[in-house]
A and B are shown apart, each in its own frame.
Chain A
Amino acid sequence: MKILVCITNVPDTTAKISFTDNNTKFNKAGVQYIIGPYDDYALARAVELKEAQGGTITVLHVGEADSDPQIRKALAIGADDAIRVNTEPADSYYVATQIAHIAQQNSYDLILMGRESIDFNSGVVHGLVGEMLGIPSFSPVMKLDIKDGKAEFAREIDGGKEYLEATLPLVLGCQEPIAEWKIPNMRGIMTARTKPLQVVEPVSVDDMTSLESYSLPAPKGECKMIPVEEAEKLITLLRTEAKVL
């Protein structure tokens, strides 16, 4: 089985977010980057599937060289090789086009990625890649097994789970608890440096979106405690102060 795992390189969940250039650029200074947490689940499940059934895992990242440490980490965790499309990812359509282009040249049985990145959180890349390749895609997948060339998986839906079966190839957007995050071990780290990381140039894509500016959410307001006996006051406050009713 040939598995492609697409990973994002995103600010650590505890990073302080700020912008520069008149709120048009994310300020990378002092920010720690990590593999997208949902992508990390996808990778972990891919490694488990490979351990159980054999096969190969290729890691794909669309981004610039400053993502290489995260790619090396994915190799240390258990991927066999990596491809980086050397470009600044513009938007979901752009990234999906690059992924689909790579996938077209190599026939992967499974294309796994996170349900969404945790920086832009658009959550559409898996769907776009599926459409571009003309193969089914599902998200968010929280359980995945492969039996006799078929995928058996569970998807989170409103108020429950949906159990599905589909033939490969597939594109899946993953989330917990599909697998437990893996920490690389020393041997993995030491062998990662000799695993191939191929850098390729992007295919050209028409701009579909352009960035106007960023803004931060409003700071959290003060918390007001209202005793149960005064529940009516809550309604008044929601009307007059919060203005949500």
Chain B
Amino acid sequence: MVVSEKLTLTSDAPGKSMFMLGNEAIARGAIEAGVQVYAAYPGTPSSEISENLVNLSKQMGFYAEWSVNEQVAFELAFGASMANVRAMTSMKHVGLNVAHDPLMSATYMGARGGFVMVNADDPGQWSSQNEQDNRVIAEQAYIPILEPSSAQEAKDMVVDGFNWSEEFGQIFMLRSVTRLSHGRGDVTLGPIKKEKRKGDFAPANRERFICMPAWSRKNRYVMIERLNKIKAAVDGMVYNKLKLVKGAKVGVIASGISYGYALESLRWLGMEDKVSFLKVGTPYPLPEKLVKELCSSVSKVIVVEELEPFVENHVALICQRADIRVKVYGKEFIPLVGELSTRKVVEGIAKFLDVKSPIDFGAIDKTLAETNPMVPMRPPTLCPGCPHRGSFYAINIAARKTKKDLGERVLNGDIGCYSLGAYAPLFSYDASCCMGGGFGVANGLAKGQSNPVIGHLGDSTFFHSGIPALINAVFNNIKVTLVVLDNSATSMTGFQPNPAAPTNGQPGLKAEEIAKACGVKHIEVVDCFDIKATAEAMERAVRFNGPSVVVARGLCAILDTRNKRQAGKKVIPYSIDQDTCTKCKICVNQLACPAILIENETVVIDAAQCVACGLCAAICPSKSILQGGK
């Protein structure tokens, strides 16, 4: 059998096609553009960009790192751009909130070496705490946006983004969304830029690169002028395409991923050749000439875009200023909330054009409503053997004990795998806000009311943005318990290393040592699979009169299993002695471990899923759960 040639992200094979994830295409674009410095903090849906670039950096001769948070990642990449090498960072939408501070000043200074900032929004909140539209932030920062409609465009836009960034001296944002980052498509490879630039930084650049009032007041004009130059160029960029249909009275404008939904919808409605269509690849600044050309040829237009009416508002403004009499529609027909789909767009455009929907979606809804009650719920959950399950179970035991004299506990959580413990039966969250908020908001909950407050977050989040709030609790002597759920990995996004893990030749930072250095007087470190010890430590911490820290340590179950497999260590699963099991179902009802099942009224452990953490055995009142069985 002929084994087909295996193309990879580093294949020097211009013209060959490869099936790629959107995030892989973005990584390939960086490689083709000759990126020299890359830095990022993981976050769904952006993580695979960094996964690939970090893994391939050595082979391709560039620097790539997992940074401690998005602000540092942005700053590092910006510093490299100052030194005149090509630099890139990527982050999820809420990551840009963390990097917002340097962004707002970096834009005054602009890019020296090409600087592409990849921002992945998450419409529909597949894996996020909100669905903010970061095109708004780019506009606020005078940063031009490239918005791809396919994996191919994503790759090409990264390459062009680097070139344009150097040509115009400005940072370029590549705006992805979940469906682009986690979408796939055929991508034709381009050549790889092989020469590496020797960076430099001359102190003569002082006037440009010191953000102090005397200089940055002037640089604000420079920044505005840069955007004006870009504005004049976008009409000619290949990613903006206008198709005028003779005699058409209706126009459709679609940006980025929405282009596919809009075009397919028009085809499905049989309207493709009856309306004029503007495909937008630069939502900011918009191709004004093309917008005007379209809008002056029709009597009404509809803008198809996900989330905010960003393009819609700009189109309306352009037309109003140019005195073009056209009605601009958008969010009256296209949902403001959630991810778009071809169905939503077909329905919106059908209503806008007052034509019939191509199929009866009502019938589909009826089938769905009839079917839903039959479908078992399958929410994501803490893995079998997850250390957080032990920590949360122990917190609940401690909370039951302290409830009598201190009142009901308040659990304030954070962003990560452990958020899966928020559901029944662990209910490990009463509140959560943002990265680092697990500690920060806990400070305020402890000041705003008198019941005991436990703030918890993971090790990666602790290093990301938890430490300042810990210091704050010490500095202001706030009586709050802060728990670090230390599984030594950034697990939710794919087990990226963080400062807690021994890597890059350093032994791994210990949260307890940092807490000690921060002046915390009560610190305990526990093995979170030891329920009794963990529960006792949690209770002592809650009763301590001042800020207290518990580090609940246990390696991520997936990593632990992986390590054991690599070391050739056999995992002997637990099983239930059916002769002594009283069927009290405490293990089932209080742990919700996916490996513990009820089959024909009998509680059983699925040996294929059990990773032998022993948590169920530890809490079994009749001691019926045994490793390896009888």
Do A and B pair up? The answer is: no
